[in-house]
C-alpha cells in the first residue's frame, strides 16, 4: 500500500501513469443558475425545487454558483489549480428548450464557449448529456416512463455531438440512471417527485434505451468522440462476516443479491449485452411485467462503449428487514466514520466495486467520473477552509485507485466531485462537496485545503513525480 503518512504526494503520484486523466466534475443545474437566460426553459428540477417541502430550506438552482455568468473565471480557477480535465453537464433545456424541435443557438453557444475556453486553458472537456434536468414539457408528456423520451434524448444527443463532438475528450450519455429512475419516479426524493414503482422501472429502461439510441446519433455526428455512460455503483456486503453461518445466512445473502441486482446489475448487465438480470426481473414481477421492453431494445442498449464511467461514494451494507412489511432489506451502518451525508467512508469499497466490474464484465477502460465527500466546513476569518476530512477522503480513495491500476485494472481517469460547493439536489445548499468553497452571498470562491492538496498531487504527477513539498508540504 502507498505510504500516505510520510510521503503523501510524491508516492501517490507515482501510482498513476503519465497519461492518467485528473480532473473535477460538476453538473449544470447544480452550478449554472441563470435559469431563464438566453432562451432556457424550465426543467423538472426547476419545477420540483419550487414546490414547498421538496428541497431543504426551499433552495433552488435559480442562482446556484452563478457559473453561467462566471464561466471564464471558473475555468481560470481550474487552470490555476492545474486541472487536466473538467467534466460538466449540458442542460438539455438550454440547447433544445422543450426537449424537441429546433436548437436554441444562444444556449448551445454557452457550451461552445465553455469547451473553447477549457481547451485554451489546457483543460480537457468532458461532457455529460443528461445529469437529471429533463425539459418540463417532456415530463408533462409522460417523462422517462414514456418511450418517446428515449427518442427525444437521442435527437438531442446528436445535436450536441454535432456541435461539440470535434473538441470533446469524452461524451457521457447519462449520469447515474439509477437516481433518475428510482429516486425520480420511485421514491420521489428527486424530480419529478413521483412515487410509482412501475413507472420507475419503465424510466430505467427508457433511460438505458435513450443511451443506446444516442450511441447511434452520436457516432453518426462525431465518430471519433469517446463515448460512454456513467453508473453509480455500490459494492454490496452483508452485515455479517463472511464466516457467519447462522440460520438466517441465506437471508443475508439474498438481501445482498437483491440490492446488488437493482443498484448495479440492473444497469451493468444490459449495458454490457447481457440483458436484464433474470433474478431481478423475478424480484420486480409483482410491480411490473416489464411490458415496455420491446424486441431489439436490449441490443440497442448494448451499443459498444469506449469507456465506462463509475461514480463511487460508499458501500451498501444490508440485512434482511427486521420488520415485515418494509421493502425486505435494511441498510445498516458499521460504525465507520461518516460524511455529512451520513455515508460511511470506505475507500476499500472503491477498490472492490471497480475490481468487480473488471473481473465480471467485458474489458473496457474505466474512468472514475465522480468521487467525493460532503463535510461541514468551517470558514476561518481569513476565508480559508482546512477540510482535513475531505482531504483524507480524497487521498485515500485515490490510493485505492492507484492500487487498482497496480493490480492491472484499466482505470484511466479520476474526476473529483466536485469543483466547488453547489446545489446538492434535495439537500439544497446545506451539503458542501466542493474542493473550492463558495460563499453564496458574494459568490466568492476559495480553494479549500483539499483543493490545494489535489493541485499539488497533479503538479507532482505532471512533473514526473520527483516533486516534494508543494503548497501544503509533503
Ligand atoms: O451531487 C451529486 C451528483 O449530482 C451526482 N452524484 C452524487 C453527487 C453527490 O450526491
Residue 469 has a pLDDT of 37
Cell of 246: 447462522
| Active-site pick, 139, 344, 370, 424 | 370
Average pLDDT over residues 97-101: 96
Q: Is the CB of 149 under 6 A from ligand 1?
A: no
Q: Is the CB of 133 under 6 A from ligand 1?
A: no
Residue 7 has a pLDDT of 62
Average pLDDT over residues 311-332: 90
* Out of 117-121, 178-182, 266-270, 327-331, least confident range: 327-331
Question: Residue 460 pLDDT more than 80?
Answer: yes
Contacts 24+ apart (CB under 8 A), 420-423: 420/26, 420/31, 420/65, 420/74, 420/445, 421/65, 422/26, 422/27, 422/30, 422/31, 422/64, 422/65, 423/29, 423/30, 423/31, 423/59, 423/60, 423/61, 423/64
Residue 471 has a pLDDT of 37
| Per-residue confidence band for 467, with pLDDT thresholds at 50, 70 and 90 | very low
Average pLDDT over residues 232-241: 98
Testing ligand 1's pocket by substitution, the residue of 26, 27, 172 carrying the most ligand atoms inside 8 A of its CB is: 27
**What spacing in Å lies between the alpha carbon of 435 and ligand 1's midpoint?**
14
| Active-site pick, 176, 344, 389, 424 | 176
Q: Which residue has the CA at smallest separation from atom 10 of ligand 1?
A: 424
Residue 383 has a pLDDT of 86
Q: Is the CB of 387 under 6 A from ligand 1?
A: no
The ligand 1 atom at the shortest distance from the C-alpha of residue 424 is 1
Q: Is the CB of 417 under 6 A from ligand 1?
A: yes
Whether 51 is catalytic:
no
Euclidean distance between the first and final Cα of the chain, in Å? 18
* Out of 160-169, 301-310, 378-387, least confident range: 378-387
Average pLDDT over residues 209-229: 98
Q: Tell me the β-bridge partners of 411.
A: 366
State the residue for C-alpha cell 421493502. Answer: 327
Domains of the chain, by residue range, sit at 8-465
Whether 155 is catalytic:
no
Residue 3 has a pLDDT of 55
- In the chain, pLDDT over 70 holds for what percent of residues? 96
Residue 330 has a pLDDT of 96
Residue 464 has a pLDDT of 85
Average pLDDT over residues 265-271: 99
Question: Residue 470 pLDDT more than 90?
Answer: no
Question: Residue 474 pLDDT more than 50?
Answer: no
Omega before residue 418 within 30° of 0, cis: yes
Domain covering 8-465: architecture: Alpha-Beta Barrel (3.20)
Q: Is the CB of 176 under 6 A from ligand 1?
A: yes
Residue 82 has a pLDDT of 98
**What spacing in Å lies between the alpha carbon of 433 and ligand 1's midpoint?**
9
**What spacing in Å lies between the alpha carbon of 424 and ligand 1's midpoint?**
7
| Per-residue confidence band for 10, with pLDDT thresholds at 50, 70 and 90 | confident
Omega before residue 192 within 30° of 0, cis: yes
Average pLDDT over residues 194-199: 98
Q: Is the CB of 421 under 6 A from ligand 1?
A: no
Q: Which residues of 62-84 are buried (b: 16+ CB within 10 A; e: fewer)?
A: ebbbbbbebbeebbebbbebbbb
Question: Residue 425 pLDDT more than 90?
Answer: yes
Distance of alpha carbon 70 from alpha carbon 84, whole angstroms: 20
Supply φ then ψ for residue 53, to 5 degrees: 85, -5
Q: Tell me the β-bridge partners of 366.
A: 308, 411
Task: Give the C-alpha distances (Å, rounded to integers) separating 131 from 29, 30, 124, 308.
Answer: 8, 10, 19, 16
Cell of 218: 452520436
The ligand 1 atom at the shortest distance from the C-alpha of residue 417 is 8
Tens digit of pLDDT for each residue in 14-23? Answer: 999 999 999 9
pLDDT, mean over the chain: 96
Q: Which residue has the CA at smallest separation from atom 4 of ligand 1?
A: 27
SS3 sequence of the chain: CCCCCCCCCHHHHCCCCCCCEEEEECCHHHHCCCCCHHHCCCEHHHHHHHCCCCCHHHCCCCCCCCHHHHHHHHHHHHHHCCCCEEEEECCHHHHCHHHCCCCCHHHHHHHHHHHHHHHHCCCEEEEEEECCCCEHHHHHCCCCCCCHHHHHHHHHHHHHHHHHCCCCCEEEEEECHHHHHHHHHHCCCCCCCCCCHHHHHHHHHHHHHHHHHHHHHHHHHCCCCCEEEEEECCCEEECCCCCCCCCCHHHHHHHHHHHHHHHHHHHHHHHCCCCCCHHHHHHCCCCCCCCCCCCCHHHHHCCCCCEEEEECCCCEEEEECCCCCCCCEEECCCCCCECCCCCECCHHHHHHHHHHHHHHCCCCCEEEEECCCCCCCCECCCCCECCHHHHHHHHHHHHHHHHHHHCCCCEEEEEEECCECCCCHHHCCCCCCCCEEEECCCCEEEECHHHHHHHHHHHHHHCCCCCCCCCCCC
Average pLDDT over residues 234-244: 98
Amino acid at each position: 500500500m502507498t505510504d500516505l503518512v510520510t510521503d503523501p504526494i510524491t508516492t501517490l503520484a507515482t501510482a498513476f501513469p503519465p497519461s492518467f486523466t485528473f480532473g473535477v466534475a460538476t453538473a449544470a443545474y447544480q452550478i449554472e443558475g441563470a435559469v431563464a437566460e438566453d432562451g432556457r426553459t424550465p426543467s423538472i428540477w426547476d419545477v420540483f425545487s419550487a414546490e414547498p417541502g421538496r428541497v431543504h430550506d426551499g433552495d433552488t438552482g435559480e442562482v446556484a454558483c452563478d457559473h453561467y455568468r462566471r464561466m471564464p473565471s471558473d475555468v481560470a480557477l481550474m487552470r490555476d489549480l492545474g486541472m487536466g480535465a473538467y467534466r460538466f453537464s449540458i442542460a438539455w433545456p438550454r440547447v433544445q428548450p422543450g426537449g424537441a424541435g429546433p436548437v436554441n443557438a444562444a444556449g448551445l453557444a454557452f457550451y461552445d464557449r465553455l469547451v473553447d475556453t477549457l481547451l485554451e486553458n489546457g483543460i480537457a472537456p468532458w461532457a455529460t448529456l443528461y445529469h437529471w434536468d429533463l425539459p418540463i414539457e417532456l415530463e408533462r408528456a409522460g417523462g422517462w416512463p414514456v418511450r418517446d423520451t428515449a427518442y427525444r434524448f437521442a435527437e438531442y444527443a446528436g445535436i450536441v455531438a454535432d456541435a461539440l463532438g470535434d473538441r470533446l475528450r469524452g461524451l457521457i450519455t447519462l449520469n447515474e440512471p439509477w437516481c433518475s429512475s428510482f429516486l425520480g419516479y420511485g421514491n420521489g426524493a428527486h424530480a419529478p417527485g413521483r412515487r410509482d414503482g412501475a413507472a420507475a422501472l419503465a424510466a430505467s429502461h427508457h433511460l438505458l434505451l435513450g443511451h443506446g439510441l444516442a450511441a447511434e446519433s452520436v457516432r453518426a455526428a462525431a465518430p471519433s468522440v469517446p463515448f460512454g455512460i456513467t453508473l453509480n455503483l455500490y459494492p454490496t456486503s452483508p452485515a455479517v462476516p463472511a464466516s457467519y453461518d447462522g440460520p438466517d445466512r441465506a437471508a443475508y445473502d439474498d438481501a445482498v443479491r437483491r440490492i446488488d441486482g437493482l443498484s448495479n446489475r440492473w444497469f451493468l448487465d444490459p449495458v454490457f449485452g447481457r440483458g436484464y438480470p433474470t433474478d431481478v426481473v423475478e424480484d420486480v414481477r409483482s410491480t411490473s411485467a416489464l411490458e415496455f421492453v420491446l424486441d431489439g431494445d436490449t441490443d440497442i442498449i448494448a451499443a459498444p462503449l469506449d469507456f465506462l464511467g463509475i461514480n463511487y461514494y460508499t458501500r451498501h451494507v444490508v440485512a434482511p428487514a427486521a420488520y415485515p412489511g418494509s421493502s425486505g432489506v435494511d441498510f445498516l451502518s458499521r460504525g465507520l466514520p461518516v460524511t455529512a451525508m451520513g455515508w460511511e467512508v470506505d475507500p476499500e469499497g472503491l477498490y472492490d466495486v471497480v475490481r468487480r466490474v473488471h473481473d465480471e464484465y467485458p474489458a473496457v477502460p474505466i474512468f472514475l467520473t465522480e468521487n467525493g465527500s460532503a463535510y461541514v466546513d468551517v470558514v476561518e476569518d481569513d476565508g480559508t477552509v482546512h477540510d482535513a476530512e475531505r482531504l483524507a477522503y480524497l487521498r485515500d480513495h485515490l490510493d485505492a485507485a492507484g492500487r487498482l491500476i497496480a493490480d492491472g485494472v484499466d482505470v484511466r481517469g479520476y474526476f473529483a466531485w466536485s469543483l466547488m460547493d453547489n446545489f446538492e439536489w434535495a439537500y439544497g445548499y446545506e451539503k458542501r462537496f466542493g474542493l473550492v468553497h463558495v460563499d453564496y452571498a458574494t459568490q466568492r470562491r476559495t480553494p479549500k485545503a483539499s483543493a490545494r492538496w489535489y493541485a499539488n498531487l497533479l503538479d507532482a504527477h505532471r512533473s514526473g513525480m520527483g516533486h516534494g513539498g508543494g503548497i501544503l508540504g509533503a
